[in-house]
Structure 1
Amino acid sequence: MHKILIPVDGSVHSMKALKIAADLAAKYQGRLCILHVLLRGKAASDLMALDISSQFDKPLQQILNKAISANLGPAPDKILNKIGEIILDHFAEKARTHGVEFELLPIVSGKPADEILKMQEKIEAGTIVMGARGVSHSDSSTFGSVSQEIFNRAQCTCISVK
């Protein structure tokens, strides 16, 4: 079975990528492998700006709003893990609605491009489908910096969604 790796970050671009990947999986009897890399270095304001932030429960929203008010800097891992779980749950529900086989991969931490490529090799995914501008905006390229690095280094088919 063809495995399609979908790195998701809660952005609208990763949501679009999931739809395209699900269409591919349905057409070619593939299986989606949904991955989240912790959003390290992101401040609470960045996290509240995620397209998926409406899925955050009240206590999490309150914690993030207090951190924004206090200008606390990068969010701690505990919060990032909670957000990662919410993101994966949301994308699992979307995959279910498309009626394709999928699996949620364990949340990983590290440099996003490195972690995505390591996972692609580990699970032997034949395709990576990812959003081209997620939570890290790059002014130097049409594509996001992570997707550009994936395109340059990956040894499999890559599809970028904007």
Structure 2
Amino acid sequence: MQKILLPVDGSIHSMKALKIASDLTAKYQGRLYILHSLLRGKDASGLMALDISSQFEKPLQQVLNKAMSANMGPAPDKVLYKIGQIILDHFGEKARAQGVAFEVLPIVSGKPADEILKMQEEIEAGTIVMGARGVTPSDSSTFGSISQEVFSRAQCTCISVK
């Protein structure tokens, strides 16, 4: 369990997963890898509903508020990359504060479950720790659609945090 992959999306569950992943990283003297996949398909209201939206700078909040009032549909990649970087910076700061060895991975843009599993293989992570639910609505009562797919396909230990 020396390499732990932590996919993050800015949800409260991914914030809780960081604590568990950090504890495991410290206990097993491992390294934490923080990954974010673009929140494709999210509109401005969905982005402003993120638990991490309080970290958005005022100009970004204004752009999102304007897009919400105009009902502009899914946010463009440029905005999603900006938000993704804010999310990664936030999680990196929290990991640093917890004193664990970590690496913030580059933002990925493909299908989230595929990207998570691809990165797990690439870095040879022995464990994936992720929120049971993220920012994508799911009809499942326990797991979100992305975590459910990752857990069913992963060839490593998976820890779900709720």
Q: TM-score range by the shorter chain?
A: over 0.9
SS of 1:21's equivalent in the other structure is helix
1:86 aligns to what?
A: 86
1:10 aligns to what?
A: 10
SS of 2:52's equivalent in the other structure is helix
Separation of aligned partners in 1, 2:159 and 2:98: 19
How many pairs are equivalent? 162
Residues 7-61 of structure 1: per-residue CA shift (max 9 Å, x gap) = 0000010000010000000000110000000000000000000000000000000
2:23 aligns to what?
A: 23
1:42 aligns to what?
A: 42
SS of 2:72's equivalent in the other structure is coil
1:55 aligns to what?
A: 55
SS of 2:40's equivalent in the other structure is coil
* TM-score, normalised with respect to structure 2: 0.98
| Unaligned segments of structure 2, at least 5 residues | none
Report how far residue 140 of structure 1 moved.
2.6
1:131 aligns to what?
A: 131
1:98 aligns to what?
A: 98
Moved over 2 A (4+): none
Separation of aligned partners in 2, 1:62 and 1:30: 40
* TM-score, normalised with respect to structure 1: 0.98
Separation of aligned partners in 2, 1:68 and 1:110: 25
Aligned CA RMSD, in angstroms, stands at 0.9
Separation of aligned partners in 2, 1:60 and 1:12: 21
SS of 1:159's equivalent in the other structure is strand
- One-letter code aligned to 1:157: T
SS of 1:89's equivalent in the other structure is helix
Separation of aligned partners in 2, 1:159 and 1:13: 12
Separation of aligned partners in 1, 2:143 and 2:123: 25
1:153 aligns to what?
A: 153
Report how far residue 141 of structure 1 moved.
3.9
SS of 1:51's equivalent in the other structure is coil
- One-letter code aligned to 1:130: M
Select between 136-145 and 5-14 the one with higher mean Cα deviation: 136-145
- One-letter code aligned to 1:110: G
Separation of aligned partners in 2, 1:137 and 1:73: 16
SS of 1:140's equivalent in the other structure is coil
